[in-house]
């Protein structure tokens, strides 16, 4: 897993090359959609969530992420439906794209192959092919995330500025590797043998969820996520009981220069509340001049933290036996 994390910037550069070369010209001729739906789970789904947070103040129409077998009632001819599956065989995504096809949605596929590619070829859907050699969807979030941006650009819903922001982000990651890994190691020592509780501005929720998922799959460790200021209206009251459990928690505050000013104040005021009960409170500050760069910076730092936590936990970050066993049992029930 270390090799995948260490080459994240290279993956982003390759993803940009794939997106630039993708044959998506037909999308410009499509009628302007009323909404965008991204169907995907795991690493593919989180890519959609990250993009939604990045383009929140740019995209003129709503963007939803679907992780289920079914699609919302509003999906129809006015929907741009992006089916994203690394393997192409994710059963939830295949069921959702079949439902979207039946409702007349305009579909784009992002995949390395499998059943999704077969459907795309059968129906003539525009498709972006991504590499599938690694067999680890969570290690390929850069591919799915970047292709989503290029698809939105091809439809005219997003401008070209993200390409310069992506290039700047790649330079940022490559120039801060030593510091990123050092900070990630320190964070891992705080998290190992504790229950991480991760907080972020709501706009950054996807990055926090990505970190939780990476701790789950790489380090075999549970973690919790909530956002500011939502947690101030409920969860903050829970920071009293049970004391024995709270004493084994490790709070992580994810911050960026683009956080809402009132969220920054709320985090500052809540930090002492957490510190009074938790084993540790660690603040992780993003670098970068854009929402895209800041998200990618945090993704790499937190991916490193999950790998270093895996080492401390004695876990193999490349294997997910619980998921493999569940898939095998599900296959027996089809």
Distance of alpha carbon 316 from alpha carbon 15, whole angstroms: 27
Q: Is residue 258 part of a domain?
A: yes
Please provide the DSSP assignment of 54-120 as one string. Answer: HSTTT-SS-EEEE-SSS--TT-STTEEEEEEESSS--HHHHHHHHHHHHTT-EEEEEESSHHHHHHH
The catalytic position among 92, 233, 240, 332 is 233
Q: Is residue 327 part of a domain?
A: no
The catalytic position among 123, 135, 260, 327 is 327
Please indicate, yes or no, whether residues 226 and 292 belong to a single structural domain of this protein: yes
Bridge partners (DSSP) listed for residue 38:
65, 82
Q: Is residue 323 part of a domain?
A: no
Q: What is the pLDDT along the chain (334 residues), one digit of tens a residue?
A: 777 888 999 999 999 999 999 999 999 999 999 999 999 998 889 999 999 999 999 999 999 999 999 999 999 999 999 999 999 999 999 999 999 999 999 999 999 999 999 999 999 999 999 998 777 778 889 999 999 999 999 999 999 999 999 999 999 999 999 999 999 999 999 999 999 999 999 999 999 999 999 999 999 999 999 999 999 999 999 999 999 999 999 999 999 999 999 999 999 999 999 999 999 999 999 999 999 999 999 999 999 999 999 999 999 988 888 988 998 999 898 7
CA 20, 24, 28, 32 dihedral sign is negative
Please indicate, yes or no, whether residues 153 and 82 belong to a single structural domain of this protein: yes
- Single residue among 96, 130, 159 that ends a domain in this structure: 159
Q: Any catalytic annotation for residue 217?
A: yes
Distance of alpha carbon 79 from alpha carbon 72, whole angstroms: 11
pLDDT of residue 306: 98
Q: Is residue 171 part of a domain?
A: no
Collect all residues with Cβ–Cβ distance below 8 Å to 101 and sequence separation of at least 6. Answer: 107, 119, 123
Please indicate, yes or no, whether residues 286 and 150 belong to a single structural domain of this protein: no
Q: Any catalytic annotation for residue 135?
A: no
Which H or E element spans position 321? Answer: helix 321-332
Please indicate, yes or no, whether residues 103 and 134 belong to a single structural domain of this protein: yes
- Single residue among 93, 127, 159 that ends a domain in this structure: 159
**Domain span holding position 14:** 2-159
The catalytic position among 217, 230, 235, 277 is 217
CA 134 to chain centre: 18
Contact indicator for 113, 132 with CB cutoff of 8 Å: yes
What CATH number does residue 13 fall under? 3.40.50.10490
Q: Any catalytic annotation for residue 189?
A: no
Please indicate, yes or no, whether residues 205 and 268 belong to a single structural domain of this protein: yes
């Amino acid at each position: 897993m270390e090799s995948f994390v260490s080459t994240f910037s290279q993956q982003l550069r390759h993803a940009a090359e794939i997106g630039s070369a993708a044959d998506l010209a037909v999308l410009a001729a499509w009628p302007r959609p009323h909404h965008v739906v991204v169907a995907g789970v795991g690493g593919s789904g989180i890519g959609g969530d990250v993009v939604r947070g990045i383009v929140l103040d740019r995209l003129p129409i709503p963007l939803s992420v679907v992780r289920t077998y079914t699609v919302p009632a509003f999906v129809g001819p006015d929907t741009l439906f992006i089916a994203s599956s690394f393997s192409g065989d994710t059963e939830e995504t295949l069921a959702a794209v079949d439902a979207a096809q039946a409702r007349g949605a305009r579909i784009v596929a992002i995949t390395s192959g499998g059943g999704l590619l077969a459907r795309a070829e059968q129906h003539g859907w525009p498709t972006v092919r991504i590499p599938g050699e690694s067999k680890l969807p969570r290690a390929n979030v850069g591919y799915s995330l970047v292709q989503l941006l290029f698809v939105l650009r091809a439809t005219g819903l997003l401008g070209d500025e993200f390409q310069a922001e992506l290039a700047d982000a790649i330079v940022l990651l490559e120039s801060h590797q030593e510091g990123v890994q050092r900070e990630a190691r320190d964070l891992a020592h705080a998290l190992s043998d504790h229950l991480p509780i991760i907080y972020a501005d709501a706009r950054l929720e996807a990055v926090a969820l990505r970190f939780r998922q990476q701790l789950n799959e790489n380090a075999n460790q549970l973690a919790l996520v909530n956002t500011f200021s939502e947690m101030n209206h409920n969860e903050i009251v829970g920071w009293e009981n049970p004391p024995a459990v709270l004493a084994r928690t490790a709070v992580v505050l994810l911050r960026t220069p683009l956080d809402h000013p009132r969220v920054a104040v709320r985090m500052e005021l809540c930090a002492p509340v957490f510190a009074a009960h938790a084993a540790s409170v660690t603040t992780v500050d993003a670098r970068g001049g854009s929402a895209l760069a800041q998200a990618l910076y945090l993704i790499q730092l937190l991916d490193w933290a999950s790998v270093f936590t895996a080492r401390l936990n004695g876990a193999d970050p490349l294997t997910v036996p619980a998921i493999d066993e569940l898939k095998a049992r599900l296959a027996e029930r089809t």
